[in-house]
Structure 1
Amino acid sequence: MQRIRDLAWLRNYSKEDGHVAVTNVSSGYVTLSVMGPRSRELLSRVSPADTQNKLSNSPPPVKSRSAIEWRSRSG
């Protein structure tokens, strides 16, 4: 797994002088990929990101990512 290799690399190359602490927080995050010709339409219904111009129609840079807020519709 990539995150295991990344964590091992960080631990291996970080100084052990008390100035750096490496902690695996991967279990506290999730990635949800929404792709396709109507993905912006879907995301605009569940996120205020459109008002922040994060869902523009211009193509994003290759291998890019963006964090957006997700509104819960439960309740």
Structure 2
Amino acid sequence: MAEVYTHLIAYLFKDEQREQSFELTDAVLPAHVAALHLLQLHFGDGENSLIMPTADSAPDEIMQQALLLGISDIRSQPAAPV
């Protein structure tokens, strides 16, 4: 079984400071992957699926979409094994 890591993400959502943790199998979490998880968290329901980045979106496109939807200043703390 793959090792699982807890990633703590600090970010701004519509200019409000927030934190979220994700348990993932990757030890390193690039900013665009964190942004994708945050987009899914905030906008992943069926009504908003059209604003989600596509599977083949480039990292900079994901970051731009997050910024347009009010997610910015994404910072990830080093992962800790679960």
TM-score by length of 2: 0.26
Pick the structure with more strand per residue. Answer: 2
Q: Whose Rg is larger?
A: 1
Higher normalized contact order (CA 8 Å, seq sep 6+, divided by chain length)? 2
TM-score by length of 1: 0.27
